[in-house]
Amino acid sequence: MSEIITRENERVKGFFRSIERMLDSIENFTKGYRPTLGGERFLTDKEVSERLRVSRRSLQDYRTNGTIPYIQLGGKVLYRESDIQKMLDEGYKGKFR
């Protein structure tokens, strides 16, 4: 009954496996997290091009033509997530609205 608990103990191994799974889950959950600024999330060129499934060059054309709203700080271009969603909602063509 007075067993010494070591790393080789199955209960200890199981405990550490559980901890590793929890850490993996937390890492996956926080990977895409981006804090808000004034309640607004901002997206990069790469993120918007992936979401819209267009090239980054097309995004540049959309900015030049005034098709897509953006913010430029120095050389960095950002897009408000709400602006992108609004643009998509307004451009939606379909029966079910």
Q: Of the spans 4-18, 32-46, 70-84, which averages the highest pLDDT?
A: 70-84
The CATH number of the domain holding residue 73 is 1.10.10
Query: Is residue 25 assigned to a domain?
Result: no
Q: Is residue 77 part of a domain?
A: yes
| Angle, vertex CA 28, rays to CA 26 and CA 32, nearest 5 | 115
pLDDT, residue 95, reads 66
Non-local (6+) Cβ contacts of 67 within 8 A are 61, 87
Is-above-0.75 flag for pTM? Answer: no
Question: What are the pLDDT digits (tens) for 37-80?
Answer: 778 889 999 999 999 999 999 999 999 999 899 999 888 999 99
Q: In this structure, is residue 29 part of a structural domain?
A: no
- Render the burial of 22-45: b for 16+ CB within 10 Å, e for the rest: eeeeeeeeeeeeeeeeeeebbbeb
Instruction: Please determine, for residue 33, whether its predicted confidence score (pLDDT) is greater than 90.
Output: no
Please name the helix (run of DSSP H) or strand (run of DSSP E) that holds residue 72, with its range, or none.
Answer: strand 71-73
User: How many H-runs (helices) and E-runs (strands) does the chain carry?
Assistant: 4, 3
Asked whether residue 81 carries a pLDDT value surpassing 70, the answer given is yes
User: For residue 35, what pLDDT is reported?
Assistant: 66
Query: How many domains, in total, are found in the chain?
Result: 1
Which domain does 46 fall in, by range?
A: 42-91
